[in-house]
Chain A
Amino acid sequence: MGLRTFASRKTLGALSTFPQQLRGLQTFSLPDLAYDYGALEPAISGDIMQLHHQKHHQTYITNYNKALEQLDEAISKGDASTAVKLQSAIKFNGGGHVNHSIFWKNLAPTNAGGGEPPHGSLGWAIDESYGSIEKLIAKINAEGAAVQGSGWVWLAVDKELKRLVVETTANQDPLVTKGPSLVPLIGIDVWEHAYYLQYKNVRPDYLKNIWKVINWKYASEIYEKECPRG
């Protein structure tokens, strides 16, 4: 997943009022998209992409960095209760950062391969497990539409069992909360902010249209890495 560096080392003193020490705490910054905001139209509007990337994802990163700082401080002071209290903020904001970073890579404009069905081992695995890619898409859409409130729907590979699974997670929980050996291939954000401006409450329409811009090439790469042929 290290196609783009999204972590950089910064001295903590530069960000806060801490005494000048080289703490070496990694902070995170917003990764760039490989395409323009408007490149995914008409499946996802440019407004949504811009807000989603510049506001929502950035907020997750900002809050994640803040929570990490606080956690670092609590650990160095030996403050166990604060360290535990911060865990939910870390799971939420860190999860949001992780999930959205995957999400941007899962999308590609149609002229850059978005929507093109997978060939190679991922395509065969889908046909074996689900019958056809249409059936897989139908299953993912059904699960995504059924998510109550906010969450994600994932196509993942279980790297121990070498199997494809369709899973959903709530809020910003990362996929590993559903199984430690699950590696996400495709994640679709079904939080309302991902589609509301364009589709209002008709989430099934959003799910139907997003497949036109899903980047199967990335998914295939990850799959081949986890389940190498041979």
Chain B
Amino acid sequence: MCDQTFLAIVFGPCDKCSNEKPLRAVYIKSEQLSYCSLCVEMMATEGLHENETLASLKNEAESLKGKLEEERAKLHDVELHQVAERVEALGQFVMKTRRTLKGHGNKVLCMDWCKDKRRIVSSSQDGKVIVWDSFTTNKEHAVTMPCTWVMACAYAPSGCAIACGGLDNKCSVYPLTFDKNENMAAKKKSVAMHTNYLSACSFTNSDMQILTASGDGTCALWDVESGQLLQSFHGHGADVLCLDLAPSETGNTFVSGGCDKKAMVWDMRSGQCIQSFETHDSDINSVRYYPSGDAFASGSDDATCRLYDLRADREVAIYSKESIIFGASSVDFSLSGRLLFAGYNDYTINVWDVLKGSRVSILFGHENRVSTLRVSPDGTAFCSGSWDHTLRIWA
């Protein structure tokens, strides 16, 4: 089963050892070669070549960083909001709290929608994970985790299971059952093991694989059935706080944000970082792809949200105001990508016009910081979770 779900981007004979393996591009003396990951590691640990010292490598790195900035600046011919000037302005918005989900005994830390556009799973500081029917506000399932601060939870695409984790450093999957005699906690399956807290988790396109992000600075891809680690992603210099999978059906990339102020885009098959962006001034708490998959937004403790375009390889918009001084904890796009909803630590939700860069609306209601926010799969509403122990559905 693992072999069928794991494909390599380029598979062929390695230029060094000639073995048939997944390959990565390496540059040696300005020539591009394809090495397998073993040969990459061996090359990196070989003794120094002539003319190469640690200092010269560091200088090369610095000059490459400069070149990177230059290349990016060359294509910066216009700002997004300038291009968007010809777009019609949005009308007035009437968005109110339509449902309040009460039942958690402590801060709500994370939530996720089920693909049926109706059910919601949420997790909180007291270790409780609850599945709600958002139409009726009834609780359908509840499970108590053995740890507190359940910082991550996710609904499986089939709607038949949920995944959650936090201070236990693990990601566990619970199958959902309507059988009153079954104890949900008994069927729990531990899938991921990190060396620090779990900050985010997400199923990939199927129930079979889970992507996790952790305070240990890495992200990892796991096979749910066997609990095996399929791929790990190293590169962040500090805790990884959030991740989001690219929206396409054949999506093989995801973006992660961390305490090192960097947002990194990864290739899921090779484990390589494809692009990285470092323009925030503080921890990145949340990242979310634009619906077309060509861009992503980030929310940070520096009180700004930013939009990064993947093909232009740069930041293209900043959503900020002098009056907003509290960090943004979570962001999500509306269905068309025109609106960006962002929950802040000052208890409010700001609604931004993605293209024009202006704030369209500010929503009040929560009595403590907004910790999580997701738009429903069909875009009819969005749900916010807060440290005030409640979740609110807005439409």
A and B: partners? no
